Structure 1
Amino acid sequence: MKIHFIAIGGSAMHNLAIALHQKGYQITGSDDTIHDPSKSRLEKHGLLPKEFGWFPGKITNDLDAVILGMHAKKDNPELLKAQELGVKIYSYPEFLYEQSKDKTRVVIGGSHGKTTITSMILHVLNYHDKKVDYMVGAQLEGFETMVHLTNENEFIVLEGDEYLSSPIDRRPKFHLYHPNIALLSGIAWDHINVFPTFENYVEQFGIFTNSLINGGIMVYNEEDATVKRVVEEATNPIKKYPYTTPNYFIENGITYLETAEGDLPLEVFGEHNLQNLAGAKWICQHMGIDEDDFYEAIASFKGASKRLEKIAENNSTVIFKDFAHSPSKVEATTTAVKNQYKNRSLLACLELHTYSSLNATFLSEYKGALKNADKAVVFYSSDALKIKQLEEVTEKQIAEAFERDDLIIYTNSQEFKDFLFSLNLENTAVLLMSSGNYGGLDFEEVKSLV
């Protein structure tokens, strides 16, 4: 098959392009700019466009399909040419469904935890050499790509994102997969540029739950009241398997899971990760991995990239990088690190970087999110506000939203870096939370702080 990617440089898009190339498809693509790691990975596989830009001449009638990325606009010249010629246009979730119609589809959804849960499942399956197709939103240790597609594997494990599918398909991605087996980890309002009310956001998870095939399996976190309500109100005939936080304890900075076979030391920590583990265990059991084999494998799981990722440590200091940016993730991650290092001071640094987090009306959702930090810092860039065409957010608004009189706020990236590098970090746990990079902070340089 001949497939052309419009906006091939995206995180999911370039991984799908590589996966289809490895499957034997003929792949071309375009983008107006591509950064690493996408750029070097596409180049390695001979898929990097020779020049950046949009070229309608690349769209011809001999293409079997065009895959359209979210980065493209509705008036993209290549998209308009494809529509004019009547070439079949897919969003990448639509195309993943086409590739998996004859497989058992396992879809992991939720406002938070879905990347970690998907990663846990894939780690366990890989440990026991059980081959599956997959799509996950982070780079995993032991996996070359974030997307893998074959003709022969029985299962495909998909991270089910609730964001929109493409510029011309406004359905959430996870509505398109029609799972045989699914999981919902938690629901906390996000993506307010697309879902302007909490009720509208929650509705998407109800549609997802009702999109399971008849007789399908839904594993869900019953400690999340909204998830519990959504799943239990579902009208389609599905089997429902609730999970809760398993019993655990922390000793000498290590989290132990209490199991029938004894106490199991884990590489990951935090109550939210213990919940994620419980959900992953249910999914793995439905995929043929028994409980003992799950525990044997999960003991060596170190976490997904940028999800409580330990980047540096010595005897008195530890530094974590985390993707947390929404209020519920920030609170869960901050609480996890404080509980794991009770005898250390916790410095929690949060970059407000996403559309929701920089929206003045959404800021109040962060109330108490940093309450467990001994020292709390918020960084945001006025440039990010301009790029997203948002109203100016003042330091006073941020301080009031977090309800911390001692909140430290920076809007200049160099000043934030100078502050961080001026600190005595002895007996300190440092948590850097962002979906960005604090205006250009070099995390390799941060490692030198310990």
Structure 2
Amino acid sequence: MAVKLQKIHFIAIGGSVMHNLAIALKESGHTVTGSDDEIYEPSRSFLQQQGLLPPYEGWNPAILDKSYDVVILGMHAKKENPELLKAQELGLKIFSFPEYIFEQSRDKQRVVVAGSHGKTTTTALITHVLNYHKRKFDYVIGARVEGLTHTVKLSDAPVIIIEGDEYLSSALDPTPKFLRYQHHIGVITGIAWDHANVFPTEEDYVKQFDLFGDQTPKGGMLIYCEQDSMSLMIGKKERHDVFTIPYKTHPHAEENHKCYLTNGKERYPIKIFGTHNLQNISAAKEALKKIGITAEMFFEAVSSFEGASGRLQKVKEVHGTTIFKDFAHAPSKVKATIKAVKDLYNDRELIACFELHTYSSLNKNFLPQYKDSFKNANTAVVYFNPEKVKAKGFPEISTDELKKAFANPALQIFTTAQDLSNFLKQQQYKNKNLLMMSSGNFGGLDINQLASELI
């Protein structure tokens, strides 16, 4: 059946997922416009390449008229946004990003991967295996994956794989995104309190995942990690006519800084590692089993999986030293990533460097959640920008408060990119690894350039 082409406007088109949806819709033949008050890289370059970069910075309500079929509202836009007010005045259809994805996938089987950590890699694994076996599928994922052109695809495929974020849908819709997708198959990878600006207590946060589990329809499936206490609690809850499938760390072996999946006597080399990733592999395998991928097909495809972009990626490697970068920003992610590197390279020391960048991580009340997150690192380093703390309206963070929160009196703390860079350049790297963890960029530090200077 032919798809009805629409005229669509994006309010806050520069968002990481928003701009990818805009590109996907334009490539499908829709007429797409958009605006934003700030657009950063790489969104800016991708939009420019597609002819979608707004010709102005800011909001322009005059662009909207009755000819538009749909307005898609990004989370960055506020209720008083002038374009939103104009769209409401005109009576245009307004969707949040997840509402629009659901509208476009009503007739598809929806697989939604949720979790405080692991959801991006698990979603990426599922899409990689389906792509390897040339299956027809759509997807929404929060990071780039080798072999997929964009991070969003909408077509006439019978199934869609969605990374389900627990953050709110839009200024008009304070519902976690993953509840808007209405999954048939749901995955909960692991739960650890995050987004303290929206969910002020751990109880508030965990409740959203419980609602996700409860949303599983009759005859639907809920796949959950039995080694995560919160995921286990939600997965084991009695739900009428719902199939629950627990999973755990995949059997494996580690030799000479390489990781192998094991299946009986068979061994399959893989390019990702760490307990958290071996759990992600099990989650993906279970979900794929339910949509027609056998264990043999899974093992054949998984060896070539490079990982999702920015997730525990090797920046540079020479004899005796490897430098990694990772998107880790929440306490559970920092802890899991450090442990993964230390376990695989247990014959080397580890310098672990982490940027306090998110709203939660710059909040004094949340900082104690990072307690013992560096316990597997030989040298622990934290960087933050005091100006960002001030901009968010938070009180100053002192060195002593950080050391206490992390329960690490030896913690090295830096507040300028230059001082951090100087410290890292003073270290010796023989038989030593470096791990750089941030959802930001360490104050503009070029990690690739830094790696070339260090080793």
Please give the range of the TM-score, normalised by the shorter of the 2 chains: over 0.9
Question: Pick from 302, 306, 313: which aligns with 1:309?
Answer: 313
Tell me if structure 2 keeps the 8 A contact 1:209–1:234: no
> Pairwise CA RMSD of aligned residues?
1.0
The residue matched to 1:357 in structure 2 has which SS? helix
Aligned counterparts of 2:227 and 2:365: Cα–Cα separation in 1? 27
What runs of 5+ residues in structure 1 fail to find an aligned partner?
A: none
Separation in 1, partners of 2:97, 2:238 = 27
Question: Is 2:123 the partner of 1:123?
Answer: no
Question: In the alignment, residue 348 of structure 1 is paired with which amino acid?
Answer: A
Quote how far apart the aligned CAs of 1:428 are.
Answer: 1.0
Contact 1:210 1:234 in 2 (8 A): no
Residue of 373, 377, 387 corresponding to 2:391 = 387
1:165 to 156, 169, 174: 169
Q: Distance between the aligned counterparts of 1:393 and 1:415, measured in 2? A: 18
Partner of 1:331: 335
5+ long unaligned stretches in structure 2? 1-5
Residue of structure 2 in register with 1:32 after alignment: 37
Q: Residues of 1 paired with 2:340 and 2:308: CA distance?
A: 16
1:308-365 CA-partner distances (Å, limit 9, x unpaired): 0111101121011001111111111000000010111100001111111111111111
Residue 48 of structure 1, CA deviation: 1.2
Q: 2:83 aligned with 1:81, yes or no?
A: no
Q: Is the 8 A contact 2:139 2:152 kept in 1?
A: yes
Match of 2:178 in 1: 174
Question: How far apart in 1 are the matches of 2:393 and 2:171?
Answer: 18
| 2:298 matches 1:294 | yes
Secondary structure in 2 matching 1:105: strand
Paired residue for 2:253? 249
- DSSP-derived class of the 1:5 partner: strand
Distance in 2 separating the partners of 1:442 and 1:184: 34
Is 1:133 equivalent to 2:164 in the alignment? no
TM-superposed CA distance for 1:61, in Å, is: 1.1
Aligned to 2:3: none
Tell me which amino acid in the other structure corresponds to 2:208.
Q
Residue type of the partner of 2:441?
N
Secondary structure of 2:443's match?
coil
CA displacement, residues 86-109 of structure 1 (integer Å, 9 cap, x when unaligned): 111100000000000000000000
Q: Write the mapping of 1:438-449 to structure 2, written as runs, cut at 5 A.
A: 438-448=442-452, 449=454
In the TM superposition, what is the alpha-carbon distance from 1:236 to its structure 2 partner? 4.6
Deviation sequence 1:206-258 (CA, Å, 0-9, x none): 11111222211111101111111112225353111110112222111111221
- CA distance in 2 between counterparts of 1:67 and 1:441 reads 34
Separation in 2 of the partners of 1:234 and 1:191?
28
Q: Give the alignment of 1:144-223 within 5 angstroms.
A: 144-150=149-155, 152-223=156-227
In the TM superposition, structure 1's runs of 4+ consecutive aligned residues that sit over 3 Å from their partners are none
Cα offset, 1:45, TM superposition = 1.4
Identity %: 51
Q: Secondary structure at the match of 1:203?
A: helix
Of 25, 49, 54, the match for 1:44:
49
CA contact (8 A) 2:223 2:235 kept: no
**Aligned-partner SS, 1:295:** helix
Q: Normalized against structure 1, the TM-score is what? A: 0.98
Aligned residue type for 1:223: Q
The equivalent residue for 1:359 is 363
Kept after mapping to 1: 8 A contact 2:235/2:246: no
Tell me what 2:65 maps to: 60
1:19 aligns with 2:24: yes
